[in-house]
Amino acid sequence: MPAFVSNNRYILYSGVIGLFLINIFVRSEIVEYIIGLLAIPMLIISFFKATRLFRILGTFFTGINLSALPLSQHVLLEYLAKIKKKWQDSFISQTTLRAFSVALAWSPMEIMVAITIDTTGVGYVYYLSWLLICSLFVLIIDSLRGSIYLKVRCMNQQEAE
C-alpha cells in the first residue's frame, strides 16, 4: 500500500464522515451509494493497517453478525405471526437494524472505533469495556421501547377486530 494513502487515510475517513453527515439532511440515494462505494476502500485500508488481533476479531464479529441474521428473522417471524404483515415487517426491520447497530458499536472493524483507537493510541481492550456498557444500556432501552411498541400494536389490533 502506498505510503501516502497509509499516512493520510484520515482524509478519506473525514470525507466519508462529512458526506454521511451532509446526507442526514439531504437524504439522497446517490450520496448513500457513493458512501457505500467509498466504504470498500476504507475497509481494505483499515484491514491492512490493523493489527493481527483486530483482523481476527473483525472477521469473527462479522461472521457472527451475518450468521445470526436468519436465526433472528425466523424467531421474530414466529413470535409476531398474529400481527398484521405491515406492522410485522416494520417491527422486524427496526429490531434487526438496532441490533446490528448495537453490535457494530463495539466491533473492532467499525470505522469509528478504529479511528478512535488509531488516533488516541489507547488499547482496544480499554475501550471495549466502555463500548459494551454503552451497548448494554442501549439494548435495555431498546428492549423496553420495543416491548411497549409491540404491546400498543397488539392492543390496537385487538381493538380493531
pLDDT digits over 28-40, tens only?
Answer: 889 888 888 888 8
DSSP character at residue 2: -
Q: Is the pTM of this model over 0.75?
A: no
* Beta carbons within 10 angstroms of residue 58's beta carbon: 20
How does residue 125 score in pLDDT terms, banded at 50, 70 and 90? confident
Which residue bears the cell 479511528? 115
How far is the C-alpha of 109 from the C-alpha of 57, rounded, in Å?
Answer: 8
What integer pLDDT is reported at residue 50 of this predicted model?
64
pLDDT in tens, 2-56: 677 667 777 877 888 888 888 888 888 898 888 888 888 877 777 676 666 566 6
How far is the C-alpha of 84 from the C-alpha of 154, rounded, in Å?
9
Contact residues for 87 (Cβ-Cβ < 8 A; gap 6+): 80, 153, 157
Q: Tell me the mean pLDDT in the region 147-155.
A: 76
Nine cell digits for residue 101:
447497530
Instruction: Give the pLDDT score at 87.
Output: 78
| pLDDT, averaged across the chain | 75
